[in-house]
Structure 1
């Protein structure tokens, strides 16, 4: 992999550089936001991953993420943040980050996150077909919901859920495949993020919050919280288009 690490703390960069070298990864480093954007824009298609600190001189991490997303919609971004509030984490995801790691972090944890996100990104982010999809193409279907893993499209009552990130799509697919099954946060970390549980359940909560916002733009909420346990997909109380039409005719 070719990595761009944007971190103003040289000690952190040097420490991670030793781990990157052990993995035989090619890493470049930027120490402020403006340099990061310039380096990325020189070869936008060359980067396999961006590791982005939130607090930077010049442009901050949020601003850098936005500028990178203007150039590349698919390069994976992991945001490093010392902030611990859910609102900051959700904002980072809204600005274009695919995952985040809260400081202080274990280098082994970050390496695992990078590997997992890279594996996922190799099969995600493909352009969705504009052609209508036949019934057999949907590998997940309920009364009101359809999901196509090949085109990475999801529909609620026939309405496309717009702008799903790779992680949001994978999270929705895992939940919808096992309707009404409750998944703990630890299970979702393993199934969606593809790494062992490192104690950061807020990753799941932040992604669920953003996913719900996108679902609510097209229909009723189908991702339910099971307090003290985790989350489940349940559309049993959602009225389908067919049921609405039948009710109107009656």
Structure 2
């Protein structure tokens, strides 16, 4: 039987909007997200535990590396999560080797500094929307690079391939880009399992109970796709064409290692 991992005391999260917690709360009441949820698990029964979250929405992998890696290393974490690459997938120009290279550089630097590192692969976009099929080759290529880099550097990996639950619409917010509160909870549980935390298991892979209201089909499904295009994808594309990012002018919500009870930085 595998022994549980020793307790972590200094957790730093690097990434984009998913790590920041979008889809789980809002800017008015505060964002939670999988990193906060994982930190709560890690803090149980661990005196002196501290957590920092350097993630900023809209960042591509290269920006995460450029802006967040050095501050993360300066915090001397014994655990770091690195989750980035979705924004790269959605850009007109995409190079899986380039994006994977940025992620691997972060894995290498953090592990060399003594941190345990954890990351995730990404679901097939076609499972989120029929329009996502055009992005499937990109996602598959990036996932291959993430797996290779994780293996080379001993990174704990949550590999979502083969787990149909990951595209259950209840795990995603209406924009289909960010996890819902339930989805963020599943990501946190998956990372806990990959890190072999005490009390964790593979429950994150299990399907949800049947929906009370099945997903729309036929003309209703088509109407749903049109609403999504108008409400979410369209505005996102317009912002990108204008060279703007949702993270412009934003800073990390929790840039310093703090005990969880110090909630001011989470607002």
| TM-score normalised by structure 2 residue count | 0.35
Larger radius of gyration: 1
The structure with the greater share of residues assigned to helix is 2
Q: Which structure's relative contact order is higher, taking Cα pairs within 8 Å and 6+ residues apart?
A: 2
The structure with the greater share of residues assigned to strand is 1
